[in-house]
Amino acid sequence: MNSSYWRLWTATVVSRLGDSVRQPALGLLAAALTRDPVAFAVVAIAGQLPWLLVGLFAGALADRWDRRRTMAAVDGLRMLLVLAFAGLVLADRVTIAALAGFAFLLTALGTLFDAAATAVLPAIVPAARLPTANGRMAVGITVIGGFVGTPLGAVLYAVAAALPFAVDAVTFAVAALLALTLPSARPPAADRPGLFAEARLGLRWLAAHPTLRALTGLTAGANLVVGALLAVLVLLALEHLHVPARGFGLFFAVASLGAALGGLLAGRVGRLLGTLPALAVVLVAQTAALVALAVLRAPAPGAVALGLFTAGGALWNVLVMSYSQGEVPSGLLGRVGTAQRMAGVASAPVGAALGGALAAWLGLTGLLLCCAAAMALVAVATVVLAGRSRRAEFRPRPVLPAGTTGR
């Protein structure tokens, strides 16, 4: 990997450190204000809505503007926003409405940053190296978020409630400066039909690409299962696998290790099997992990099964993202990427609602078996897709102006 990649990697991981420091602090701050579950749900929904409301427009803007400068500007704005919120914390003026507004604005800015960052990578990494590059990015994010940032955030909050947000602001500043050192990544110039038309163009291009369209639908289906599992994960650990309180952190650390391992192996697995066949194998392994979780009743083997499931999730995300980056023309990367992300974001809360209802009706074992059956169906569909596809490896399309479809 070249030096530009490692600067992008560092900027992304440093920014993730700030996110993971901030997230537990926000939860603790909300708990200090209220124990009303509806209020917590409002904050959570506020943090998810921007992807559905502005995601496509963020992708269109990322395809209009210099992506390097966009990343730097967004992180600069996020730094100012977090500093302002830290001031509210210091003044003891935080309310649930302020928390919800803060979550909404941060995510709205994050949609633009993510669209630009995803589109920058193919400009600095050869297409054949994209799975490895994305995998290393995923590992860095997982390790810094799961093993460093989250515990650090809780410690900093105990020292001073505003301290995690001050640290978060510093990480945004560092990430912004690093983004400015990246090579210029301005999309090809073209006549612009207008923001709404550009946003729709990303959707039309995705709908016209049979493999990416299918992968987007399969990702949404898999995210239904992930959402259902996350909705009951704590209960699964405590009641189903009998994880003791003293081993709770270690249990979830194994899951984080699985995600890191999946990111590390993504490039090799993709090269060995081919991208689409590898995705089918991943889903079969995740189905087996869910069946194992349904059958097992002990913490250690349950943690291993959960780690296998999270490893599969990381592999899937890295391989799908890399395949998309290799297929989509440069001028459309922001829009198509956000359209794909929106499908996943929309399906996860639906899965969470279904997971809660099924767990109440069938119990945790019944829910896990339903999740396994659903994942098996997604696996079968992926096997069919891999068999029908004319290629399973990366072959980047030519760079096209933003106003064309590429078909």
Output the tens digit of pLDDT for each of the chain's 407 residues. 788 899 999 998 998 888 888 888 887 888 788 877 667 767 877 887 888 888 888 888 888 888 889 999 999 999 999 999 999 999 999 998 999 899 899 989 988 998 888 888 888 888 888 888 889 888 888 888 777 887 888 889 889 999 999 999 999 999 999 999 988 766 655 556 677 788 788 888 888 898 999 999 999 999 999 888 887 887 888 888 888 867 766 787 788 888 889 888 888 898 898 888 999 999 999 999 999 999 999 999 999 999 999 999 999 999 998 888 888 887 888 888 888 888 887 887 788 888 888 888 998 899 999 999 999 999 999 988 888 765 444 443 433 443 443 33
Rounded to whole angstroms, how far apart are CA atoms 218 and 328?
18
Rounded to whole angstroms, how far apart are CA atoms 23 and 30?
11
Q: What is the pLDDT of residue 121?
A: 87
Q: What is the pLDDT of residue 274?
A: 87
Tell me phi and psi for residue 125, to 5 degrees.
Answer: -130, 130
Rounded to whole angstroms, how far apart are CA atoms 192 and 402?
8
Q: What is the pLDDT of residue 326?
A: 85
Q: For 271-308, what is the HEC assignment? A: HHHCHHHHHHHHHHHHHHHHHHHHHCCCHHHHHHHHHH
Q: What is the pLDDT of residue 366?
A: 93
Q: What is the pLDDT of residue 365?
A: 93
Neighbours of 234 (CB within 10 A): 12
Q: What is the pLDDT of residue 267?
A: 86
Q: What is the pLDDT of residue 263?
A: 87
Tell me phi and psi for residue 211, to 5 degrees.
Answer: -75, -45
pTM over 0.85: no
Task: Enumerate domains of the chain plus CATH numbers.
Answer: 1-132+145-184 (1.20.1250), 194-393 (1.20.1250.20)
Rounded to whole angstroms, how far apart are CA atoms 12 and 172?
10
Tell me phi and psi for residue 112, to 5 degrees.
Answer: -70, -40
Q: What is the pLDDT of residue 245?
A: 67
Q: For residues 307-336, b (16+ Cβ closer than 10 Å) or e, as one string? A: bbbbbbbbbbbbbbbbbbbbbbbbbbbbbb
Can you give the C-alpha Rg of the chain in angstroms? Answer: 21
Rounded to whole angstroms, how far apart are CA atoms 41 and 56?
24
Rounded to whole angstroms, how far apart are CA atoms 78 and 73?
9
CA dihedral 290, 296, 299, 302 (to 10 degrees): -20
Q: Exposed/middle/buried for 168, CB within 10 Å: 0-12, 13-18, 19+?
A: buried
